[in-house]
Structure 1
Amino acid sequence: MNWLKRNLTGLGIIKLFIYAFFTLFLIIPLISVFLVSFTNEPINFFGSLISIDTLQSTIEKFKNSTLDNFTSVLSNKTYFAALKNSLWLSVLVSVIVLIVCIPIAYGIARTKMPFKRTISALCTIPLVVPTFISGYAFIIMFGRSGWVTYIYQALGGEGFLIDPYSMTGIALVQIFFFFPYALWPMVAAFKVSDISLEEASRNMGAKSWLTFSTVTFPLVIPGMLSTSLVIFAVSFSDFGTPIILAPSDLNLIVVEAYREISGFFNWGGAAILTVIMIAVAGVIYWLQNFFLKGKNYDSVSGKPKQVKLNGNKLLTIPLSAFSIFVVLVPVLSMLTVFLQSIATTWGKDPLPSGYTLDHYKEIFTGSLGNIQNSIVLALGALVLSVIVATFVSYFVVRQNSTGLDFMTTVPLIVPGIAFGIALIQTFNTAPLNLTGTAFILIVAYSVRRMPYMVRSTIGTMKSIKVDIEEAAINLGASNLTAAVTVVGPLMLPGIAAGSILVFVTVIKETSISILMAPAEWAPMSLAIFQNVLRAEYYSAAAMSIILVAIVVLFQAIANRLTNKES
């Protein structure tokens, strides 16, 4: 009875609904896909709860469950090669990204290198470009009719300078468009490390290069380990780049999983690949926490000293040149897509033969529905995320709800393609036949991006004092009324910042959209993907620019809101 009294309050009921939401659309799908990997057949989890016949069928499937499916998949040369290639790609990308970011981060944080502000601004471009668009840009640049290929062959080269349809092409796209994920944490690490240690090294006669290698660099190693794992996870779960660039003879696990579910309807194979992807992502997430949790890497004590920026031109000019080269690739990629979007025809020449805005007119007349779908779906996911995340942050901070905290962390370690497959396998039959509907698409977007909103609102929630809420309760308000009318308005800055982030990332979402979106609710990302497959490159380029413009607009709004909050 006491338990009922505590939980059958307004807040208690909302908490139960939130638990039910995550259980229904996150935990059960992940469990279901795990079970399917043993039975090799789809399981109607919800139908088994209401139908004796369905329950008996499910029991029969479990009687035939076996580990042979895992054995056959892991011994399958195609699947094993896909896993090996994906792991190798992720390791390669994470290592090279770290090597690329070290000089740029040091240049931004510790030197007076020329054009530092411009370089810092340009380093944000890759963050707003969906990965499949960056992959498409590499085709326009380095493909058979690409302008880079034209220049390379004009200078006497043969074939491609870089074959975009290869492991090298995929790795380069990920390197040049994922490096900001590692860059900014490393810039912060260089800025906060205690410079008194470096000064002591120099006072003892050490040269600058020796001080950097023995004092400065070791201080940022913990941050490097953490960011390398982030890059590994992002590369491993990236769907947009491989689906555009991977040739048929290059097996990658995200592409194989997509082919199994969309092309062959191989439930068992898709489920096992999904379990493997989640397991790898989970190990990476655990390693990241292992390296950081309980460790003390502090090197700052007392009042921080003003960092003296290095102005040695023998150092700063090469750093600036290298940084400009790195940021120039994403810039040229987007300029190339823009030129394609306004070209009449373009092929075998360094520049288009003519220019037109007809492709944009075509988009706004024939494909306006895709733009509207993207905005409507993103707004739907946003509303759902705001409602759920706001109450989750309240329960986590005020009631120390570790269960909800854990549930909202799980989507971070589940690749988008894996989550999409789990939802399809769970909701493709009655009584909850939601696959192919806008509702399940909105739910998928919301759950996948929920951690961003939760982290933003939890930060704001922690800054709100409990006594403000208690004062309202003492005046007669219920806990729910106090939470909604007093705490809610105070959380608006965090909600606003998190909302823009959710909206922007949903607009860019690739894997969920391509895998789950029905034709009548096709967003821009799916339309661009389909246009590329149909070789309608000019329309794809125009819609890509519109998509990036929308993302940039809302990203700018997010930055302004964040700056105001700080």
Structure 2
Amino acid sequence: MSRFRFWRRWGGLDLLRWSIVLFFLVFLIVPLLSIFLVSLTGEPVNLFGSLVNPAIFQSTVEKLSGASLEGYRDLWEESRYFHALVNSLKLSTGVACWVTLMCIPMAYAFARTDMPGKKWFAALSTVPLVMPTFIAAYAFTLMFGQTGWVNHIWRALGGDGVLFEIKSMLGIILVQVFFFFPYALWPMVAAFKAADGALEEASRNLGAKSGLTFVMVTLSLAVPGILSAMLLVFTISFSDFGTPIIMAPKELNLIVVEAYREIAGFFNWSGSAILTVVMVAVAALFFWLQRWVIKGREYGTISGKPVVTRPVRHKGALAGLMIYTSVVLAVPLLAVGSIFLSSVATTWGHHALPNGYTLRHYATIFHSSTSNIVNSLVLASGALVLSVIIATFISYFVIRRGSAKLDFLSSMPLVVPGIALGIALIQTFNTAPLHLTGTALLLIIAYTIRRMPYMIRSTMGTMMAIRKEMEEASVNLGASPLLAVVTVVGPLLLPGISAGAILVFVTVIKETSITILMAPTSWAPMSLAVFQNLLRGEFYTASAMSILIIAIVVVLQLVARRLTKEQLY
């Protein structure tokens, strides 16, 4: 009887907690460990098979006995790999610096001024987030390619050739700058808002001019937030797969593209494993630096009076900031417009505008690509259900039980680039006893692992606001802890779950790297269909499918904003 009471009181939740730990162990820790071992041995390693098959175990032991760091030494000697790493670091550094410099005036305008139209500018600043990066890259080719409409205008004005070669390092940087800047903009807005306005007032009272006050005081107070945003953009740029796969020329080696080619084109396990480990290490380093910069670094003054910062109302400054913000936002908006024009064009390329307009491309995708649309919705729904279940209980265990282990495990996917996670999962589950590579199940699990942190952060915030007494009252009335979590805590978590669920659904619909690498032909989602259409030269149907993806994402984000009552300005 005592055993029954113990199980009723603790067994259900404890079993669930260890089941979640097992999930991360099987589908995250073991794949990353496997890919690391492959980088040392140069051959595929079947860790799961080694547990059930003596012959596989013996083979694994023999492979591990020959493990060495020779592959990593070859990384420095193999010019192609080394140049890919160096080029990726250069790209990410350039993007991070450009984005930071570009966002400083905009962030200041949103945080410290009464700039006209600030509400609309804030809403338009989310536009880059709704486009998958490979679609954004294609949009830029429509604008700045050899037959792009921008270059048609350029030549009509007397220019020669093209403004710049779009398929180049500069082209990749421009796409990432204009589509990654929101990741830096809003943290920088928060940094400027948090800066103590009393110090600025003191500076001006002592005779400093506005420009000097901004540089020496305002900007200095926002430095921690600015550095954090810069490091975040560096990590995102380094991990981005969609832009380079579309725009990188053959002579420009980038580490994400090289890793993809090694596994998808050459089945070179050793090379792909080494590049994967390097990607994870670099991403983890800069993610840690970003967290380190944030932690405990706030500049301000301590006083007993609340400080009210007066917004800037200088007409010249406001006009300049408004024009500058409009120019920056015009680029992604024109990119979306270019995709739309391509989706309704009969033909386009001989002139700045299409030769004619039609809706037949939309009819084509709804007729021949219905399965891709259904696949996207089914796969995203599967990842959503799995994410909701796991994230809800992780939030409970972390907040209520202080489970540092689960908190660490659930944060690990943030430092693993999508292409790296895909390669690790393919290698680990490519053979028996868990032969899941090429199945929809493994794709759903990959989506879940990659996007679950968004759900967890959303539910954790709501979990903190739920009083523990309500759960305890349910237990005191005879409910088991598991039943109390499901019937009492669960319904109270619905606002956080709803917002996080939509965010997971949206990001899965847009997911590029894992989809292109892992999606089986029979389960090809919309993003893979767009990518394949671009490779086949079916640009107009690719554009129509892209607009459909953008429309779905926009609608879902509007729903999420209504649920969470977000204020972006």
Q: TM-score, normalised by structure 1?
A: 0.97
Which digits, 9 at most, give the CA deviation of each residue in 1:421-446, with x for residues without a partner? 00000000111110010000000000
Q: Which residue of 2 aligns with 1:336?
A: 338
Do the aligned residues in 1 keep the contact of 2:224 with 2:297 (CA within 8 Å)? no
Task: Quote the Cα distance in structure 1 between the aligned partners of 2:548 and 2:227.
Answer: 36
Task: Quote the Cα distance in structure 2 between the aligned partners of 1:162 and 1:367.
Answer: 35
Do the aligned residues in 1 keep the contact of 2:10 with 2:481 (CA within 8 Å)? no
CA drift at 1:168: 0.2
Q: Which residue of 2 aligns with 1:196?
A: 198
| 1:154 aligned to which of 153, 156, 162 | 156
CA drift at 1:158: 2.2
CA drift at 1:305: 3.6
Structure 2 gaps, min length 5: none
CA drift at 1:175: 0.3
| 2:508 aligned to which of 499, 506, 509 | 506
Which digits, 9 at most, give the CA deviation of each residue in 1:73-108, with x for residues without a partner? 221101100000000111110011110001111112
Q: Which residue of 2 aligns with 1:519?
A: 521
| 2:212 aligned to which of 210, 213, 233 | 210
Q: Which residue of 1 aligns with 2:380?
A: 378
Q: TM-score, normalised by structure 2?
A: 0.97
Q: Give the aligned residue type for 1:420.
A: G
Task: Quote the Cα distance in structure 2 between the aligned partners of 1:299 and 1:402.
Answer: 33
Which digits, 9 at most, give the CA deviation of each residue in 1:310-337, with x for residues without a partner? 2222212121111111100000000000
| 2:165 aligned to which of 163, 166, 172 | 163
Task: Quote the Cα distance in structure 1 between the aligned partners of 2:19 and 2:114.
Answer: 54
Q: Which residue of 2 aligns with 1:431?
A: 433
Do the aligned residues in 2 keep the contact of 1:359 with 1:538 (CA within 8 Å)? yes
Q: Which residue of 2 aligns with 1:275?
A: 277
1:552-563 to 2 correspondences below 5 Å: 552-563=554-565
More displaced stretch, 292-301 vs 352-361: 292-301
Q: Which residue of 1 aligns with 2:358?
A: 356
CA drift at 1:473: 0.9
Is the partner of 2:229 in helix, strand or coil? helix
Do the aligned residues in 2 keep the contact of 1:193 with 1:299 (CA within 8 Å)? no
Do the aligned residues in 1 keep the contact of 2:394 with 2:407 (CA within 8 Å)? yes
CA drift at 1:291: 1.8
Which digits, 9 at most, give the CA deviation of each residue in 1:351-398, with x for residues without a partner? 001000000000000001111111100000000000000011111111
| 1:14 aligned to which of 13, 16, 20 | 16
1:102-181 to 2 correspondences below 5 Å: 102-181=104-183
Q: Report sequence identity in percent.
A: 59
Q: Give the aligned residue type for 2:503.
A: L
Which digits, 9 at most, give the CA deviation of each residue in 1:287-310, with x for residues without a partner? 122222243434475453433222
Task: Quote the Cα distance in structure 1 between the aligned partners of 2:507 and 2:448.
Answer: 10
Task: Quote the Cα distance in structure 2 between the aligned partners of 1:497 and 1:180.
Answer: 19
Q: Give the aligned residue type for 1:304.
A: P
CA drift at 1:151: 1.1
Q: Which residue of 2 aligns with 1:30?
A: 32
Q: Which residue of 1 aligns with 2:415?
A: 413
CA drift at 1:152: 1.2
Q: Give the aligned residue type for 1:126.
A: P
Is the partner of 1:91 in helix, strand or coil? helix
CA RMSD between the two structures: 1.7
Which digits, 9 at most, give the CA deviation of each residue in 1:94-147, with x for residues without a partner? 011110001111112222333333222211100111111100000111111110
Task: Quote the Cα distance in structure 2 between the aligned partners of 1:12 and 1:280.
Answer: 35
Which digits, 9 at most, give the CA deviation of each residue in 1:145-182, with x for residues without a partner? 11011111222222221221000000000000001111
Q: Does 1:75 align with 2:80?
A: no
More displaced stretch, 424-433 vs 61-70: 61-70
CA drift at 1:346: 0.5
Do the aligned residues in 2 keep the contact of 1:344 with 1:354 (CA within 8 Å)? yes
Q: Which residue of 2 aligns with 1:486?
A: 488
Q: Give the aligned residue type for 2:382.
A: G
Task: Quote the Cα distance in structure 1 between the aligned partners of 2:387 and 2:186.
Answer: 27
Q: Which residue of 2 aligns with 1:290?
A: 292
Residues 383, 303 of structure 1: CA spacing in aligned structure 2 closer, same or farther, 3 A cutoff?
Answer: farther
Q: Which residue of 2 aligns with 1:395?
A: 397
Do the aligned residues in 2 keep the contact of 1:192 with 1:300 (CA within 8 Å)? no
1:229-240 to 2 correspondences below 5 Å: 229-240=231-242
Do the aligned residues in 1 keep the contact of 2:198 with 2:309 (CA within 8 Å)? no
More displaced stretch, 35-44 vs 64-73: 64-73
Is the partner of 1:46 in helix, strand or coil? helix
CA drift at 1:219: 0.7
Task: Quote the Cα distance in structure 1 between the aligned partners of 2:72 and 2:303.
Answer: 52
Task: Quote the Cα distance in structure 1 between the aligned partners of 2:306 and 2:454.
Answer: 31
Do the aligned residues in 2 keep the contact of 1:141 with 1:336 (CA within 8 Å)? yes
Residues 299, 92 of structure 1: CA spacing in aligned structure 2 closer, same or farther, 3 A cutoff?
Answer: farther
CA drift at 1:192: 2.4
Do the aligned residues in 2 keep the contact of 1:194 with 1:300 (CA within 8 Å)? no
Task: Quote the Cα distance in structure 1 between the aligned partners of 2:515 and 2:303.
Answer: 48
Task: Quote the Cα distance in structure 1 between the aligned partners of 2:532 and 2:307.
Answer: 55
Corresponding residue pairs, total: 565
Do the aligned residues in 2 keep the contact of 1:194 with 1:304 (CA within 8 Å)? no
Do the aligned residues in 1 keep the contact of 2:137 with 2:175 (CA within 8 Å)? yes
Residues 565, 163 of structure 1: CA spacing in aligned structure 2 closer, same or farther, 3 A cutoff?
Answer: closer
More displaced stretch, 228-237 vs 4-13: 4-13
1:430-509 to 2 correspondences below 5 Å: 430-509=432-511
Residues 402, 241 of structure 1: CA spacing in aligned structure 2 closer, same or farther, 3 A cutoff?
Answer: same
Task: Quote the Cα distance in structure 1 between the aligned partners of 2:149 and 2:306.
Answer: 50
